[in-house]
Structure 1
Amino acid sequence: MSTREAVLDVHDRPAWNQWIFLSLQHLFAMFGATILVPLLTGLQPSIALIASGLGTLSYLLVTRGQIPAYIGSSFAFIFPLIAAISFGGAAAVMLGTFTAGVVYGVTSILIKAFGVGWLMKLLPPIVVGPVIMVIGLGLASTAIDMAMNFDEDLNEYVDSMRHFSVALATLAITILASIFFKGFLSVIPVLIGLVAGYVIAYMAGIVDLSAVVAAPWFHVPDFAIPFVTVTPEWSWTVIVIMAPIALVTMAEHIGDQMVLSKIVGKNFIRRPGLHRSLLGDGVASVMASFVGGPPNTTYGENIGVLAITRVFSVYVIGGAALLAILFGFSGKIEALIASIPNAVIGGVSILLFGIIASAGIRLMIENELDMGHKRNLVIASTILVIGIGGAFIEVTEFLEIPAMALATIIGMILHAILPAKNVGYGNGQLFISLDKETNTTEVDEDGSAGTSFYNS
């Protein structure tokens, strides 16, 4: 467990000649994951970068500059975003992202008024664990299709051997970086994998740089601004898709706050309070919806950077947010990101989505859930088959409950009505008492406990 003193504490301002490099370090830690979400969903990476920067600045404002957390695109919403886009394009993404932010905001108000116990009862480990597994495994076919270059127009794989070879090489490098690299490099294996895979793809002849050469250094992204460039449209289907996933990511948010509190040595759960950090997360997603970006959430990658560097300054975090916004207005950078072949993204995604699924298993193991108990088997099995199998309910012509949302809702219902509820909590490690001044989360020197290079 880390006991070293801070190099820069929360409110320390770095020297000007160090500030930009420290901020770039945080930016690079989140860069790979944040751009991967829009690449997988068809959104603009530049808008996602700008949304993450605006979201982080708003988060710092809401939390009164007391929590050094970076906000970025959430992987938990990849499948819901793809579904939302199929329903209504940019307008649906706007509504869905806004809905996720509102759910966070309403929850923060309820926590402020009634405490956090009700949320913990609603989302026990036996529900959260399998739902996280569904988030990862539900995207498995997407990763493979990208890795093997599936052409939707032809409905077949094109030049799959070459593309899959590049994907496997990218996967291998990402794995090696995550296992064997030390220090800061151990926090950015996704970025390392993307860069190395890009070089391999270029040598394999599947990279087209013509758009990068032609792109201007400065450009204004195609923002989806409500009532300016896009007219918002109400859709219960989109709301039902997004709202349950927001509840699940709240459990991840709470875990991040616990780990962050331990690393920094301050109880952020108590001050500025969980209600403020959740509200900050919600406001960040609302800000993202105003520009057409994906829902945002706190990033485990940046928590790892804090643990390694001991640089806790919110000024460094704010600097990283400003740099993300500047990068978002660079045409060259956007074109370079867009030129990343599907094989490279698919190679990284194979590991990334698998790790998200494994995180659900890890959560159940750490909470010592008795999977031999019929109650737990029933809940977990039902969630997994409904979520991964793609079941859905068409309520009306304009309202559909898709698989992931349906699995989450049914899981919560089963937990509420089946007897022996205490079995669903295991040892309760997911929901350590939030009233204590300290928590028992252990953090290694590399920030590995409770953090990783994926974001869910």
Structure 2
Amino acid sequence: MFSGVIILPSLFFSGVSTIVFFVVTGGRVPAYLGCSGSIASVILSITNYNYTATSGLNSNISQVQGALLILSIAYATVAIFVIFFGCKWLEFFMPPIVTGSIITSIGLHLCFISYGQITTSPFDTYMSVATAGSIMLISVYAPTNAMRRISLLLGTIIGYAIHAICGSKNIGPSINYSGIVSSPWFRAPEINYQIEFDSQSIGMVLPILVVFLAENLGHMKAIQSIITTGPPMLKYIGRAYLGDALGCLIASVGGTIPFTTYAENIGVLSVTQVFSPLVILFAAIFAVLLGFFAKFSAIVKSIPSGVLGGVTLVLYSLIVITGIRIWVVNKIDFNDTRNVFIGGVPVILATVMQTPLVLGNFQLDGIGVATFLSIILYQLLRGFDEWKQCFSDIRQSFRN
């Protein structure tokens, strides 16, 4: 799907965005910025692009770039507000029950992508089992911590090797290496400078700001639930928002899908147990260099569907568990009927919604619907006593 959205290699710009994020957050937040799936369906709708496996890249993105530029400015404005006035008002809209619901919804929604990759064919199912099984066995039984921390990489290599061997023995389909052979060794990214501002496109993109705010607040809480030591992550939420906004700005200039704190990053942190932002900085620098190495992009693109499905199934499952962990850490009481609704209905909708909800110019995918619904349900069901207490807390926050 993303190949239909992106005109330039996203690897290069994700590295640049992550470096900017590292600088803005002062190297305090262990997050690698990746392509945000929350806005993909909106971009495809704006550009009137229908993706197929054989279609070329989407070049009709000038209006999208203009809309993303406006979104970036709005996002940066909110970020600066949070930096100066704190995030208490965010907690008013998005407490742990909401953010946990959003993170869980993201994981379950994405699991359907894995399911599609896994069930492409019976052979892909076998390869996904082999790949996911390798990752889990290595992460648990590897003799050294170093091997456990790269279990995702090792599992992917094992799955790829098994697929290649089976293909060479005519046990299964062969891997298509034609893209690797035909691809040049090096190729510099090209930038589309023809940015257009269209009111309808801007109107379709701006609501995604709420989704970004909720998702990234959830990501920060999820990271905090994994990293039990050190200062609270929410201390840096304003800077994180600003880093995300600049990632969106880079996208608007470069012609790629926006880069924000990556949900899959949470899964990687859970598996590797490597929380050093400095390590992520080196990874970002390496990604920038690889962005010029066209052969690497071709190799990644050649990863078979079943192997990729096994990897993503592990990652997305960890995202689901991380959302549930937010509920557990914050001792959410599901004996309270309100929490059952807020934590249940959005998650179920995100799971079953695999086509966007379209209401005029307003369009959201399953993640976006779950985000808005979680926030709205919480406000509707929180009760008068909590409303009074929250307003009191917010007034106190501004006085301080």
TM over 0.5: yes
Matches within 5 A, 1:79-90: 80-82=39-41, 84-88=43-47, 89=49, 90=58
**2:138 maps to what in 1?**
177
Deviations 1:384-442 (A, max 9, x none): 2333332865432x333443322221221221122448889xxxxxxxxx9xxxxxxxx
**1:339 maps to what in 2?**
302
Q: Is the 8 A contact 1:171 1:347 kept in 2?
A: yes
Alpha-carbon separation, structure 1, partners of 2:96 and 2:29:
27
Deviation of the 1:96 alpha carbon: 7.3
CA 1:283–1:118 in 2, change beyond 3 Å: closer, same or farther?
A: same
Deviations 1:245-279 (A, max 9, x none): 3122222443377579975x567765xx5423331
**1:50 maps to what in 2?**
12
Deviation of the 1:58 alpha carbon: 1.7
**1:29 maps to what in 2?**
none
**1:197 maps to what in 2?**
159
Taking structure 1 as the reference length, the TM-score comes to 0.68
Q: Is the 8 A contact 1:392 1:400 kept in 2?
A: yes
Q: Which runs of 5+ in 2 are unaligned?
A: 50-57, 168-173, 388-396
Deviations 1:96-124 (A, max 9, x none): 76576455423322213322100011111
Deviation of the 1:44 alpha carbon: 6.1
Q: Which of 119, 130, 137 is the equivalent residue of 2:108?
A: 137
Alpha-carbon separation, structure 2, partners of 1:93 and 1:194:
34
1:242 aligns with 2:242: no
What's the secondary structure of 2:335's corresponding residue? coil
What's the secondary structure of 2:217's corresponding residue? helix
CA 1:280–1:294 in 2, change beyond 3 Å: closer, same or farther?
A: closer
What's the secondary structure of 2:9's corresponding residue? helix
What's the secondary structure of 1:296's corresponding residue? strand
**1:225 maps to what in 2?**
192
1:296 aligns with 2:273: no
Alpha-carbon separation, structure 2, partners of 1:176 and 1:45:
37
Deviation of the 1:360 alpha carbon: 1.8
Q: Is the 8 A contact 2:104 2:319 kept in 1?
A: yes
Alpha-carbon separation, structure 2, partners of 1:305 and 1:413:
33
Q: Is the 8 A contact 2:2 2:40 kept in 1?
A: no
Deviation of the 1:328 alpha carbon: 0.8
Residue 145 of structure 2 aligns to which amino acid in structure 1?
Answer: G
Q: Is the 8 A contact 2:222 2:326 kept in 1?
A: no
Deviation of the 1:213 alpha carbon: 2.4
Alpha-carbon separation, structure 1, partners of 2:155 and 2:68:
28
Q: Which of 21, 39, 44 is the equivalent residue of 1:59?
A: 21
Alpha-carbon separation, structure 2, partners of 1:59 and 1:252:
17
CA 1:168–1:303 in 2, change beyond 3 Å: closer, same or farther?
A: closer
Deviations 1:36-71 (A, max 9, x none): xxx7665669822211221122223334x5537453
What's the secondary structure of 2:363's corresponding residue? strand
1:380 aligns with 2:343: yes
Alpha-carbon separation, structure 1, partners of 2:114 and 2:269:
26
Matches within 5 A, 1:147-186: 147-149=118-120, 160-181=121-142, 182-186=144-148
Deviation of the 1:188 alpha carbon: 2.9
**2:329 maps to what in 1?**
366
1:78 aligns with 2:37: yes
Deviation of the 1:187 alpha carbon: 2.8
**1:277 maps to what in 2?**
240
Q: Is the 8 A contact 1:376 1:423 kept in 2?
A: no
1:112 aligns with 2:83: yes
What's the secondary structure of 1:163's corresponding residue? helix
Number of equivalent positions = 364
Deviation of the 1:294 alpha carbon: 4.1
Q: Is the 8 A contact 2:149 2:272 kept in 1?
A: no
**1:355 maps to what in 2?**
318
Deviation of the 1:329 alpha carbon: 0.8
Q: Is the 8 A contact 2:21 2:243 kept in 1?
A: yes
Q: Is the 8 A contact 1:72 1:297 kept in 2?
A: yes
Q: Is the 8 A contact 1:55 1:287 kept in 2?
A: yes
Deviations 1:296-320 (A, max 9, x none): 3264478679975x976x5x65544
Q: Is the 8 A contact 1:73 1:296 kept in 2?
A: yes
Q: Is the 8 A contact 1:173 1:193 kept in 2?
A: yes
Q: Is the 8 A contact 2:41 2:356 kept in 1?
A: no
CA 1:96–1:347 in 2, change beyond 3 Å: closer, same or farther?
A: farther
Alpha-carbon separation, structure 2, partners of 1:136 and 1:95:
30
Deviation of the 1:290 alpha carbon: 2.5
Which structure shows the bigger proportion of residues in helix conformation?
A: 2
CA 1:289–1:283 in 2, change beyond 3 Å: closer, same or farther?
A: same
Alpha-carbon separation, structure 2, partners of 1:405 and 1:267:
27
Q: Is the 8 A contact 1:99 1:242 kept in 2?
A: no
**1:441 maps to what in 2?**
none
What's the secondary structure of 1:220's corresponding residue? coil
Deviation of the 1:86 alpha carbon: 4.7
Residue 172 of structure 1 aligns to which amino acid in structure 2?
Answer: G
What's the secondary structure of 1:372's corresponding residue? coil
Matches within 5 A, 1:404-443: 404-420=367-383
Alpha-carbon separation, structure 2, partners of 1:94 and 1:321:
23
Q: Which runs of 5+ in 1 are unaligned?
A: 1-38, 150-159, 425-433, 435-456
Deviation of the 1:338 alpha carbon: 1.1
Deviation of the 1:211 alpha carbon: 2.3
Deviation of the 1:169 alpha carbon: 0.8
Q: Is the 8 A contact 2:151 2:271 kept in 1?
A: no
**1:330 maps to what in 2?**
293
Taking structure 2 as the reference length, the TM-score comes to 0.77
Deviation of the 1:148 alpha carbon: 2.2
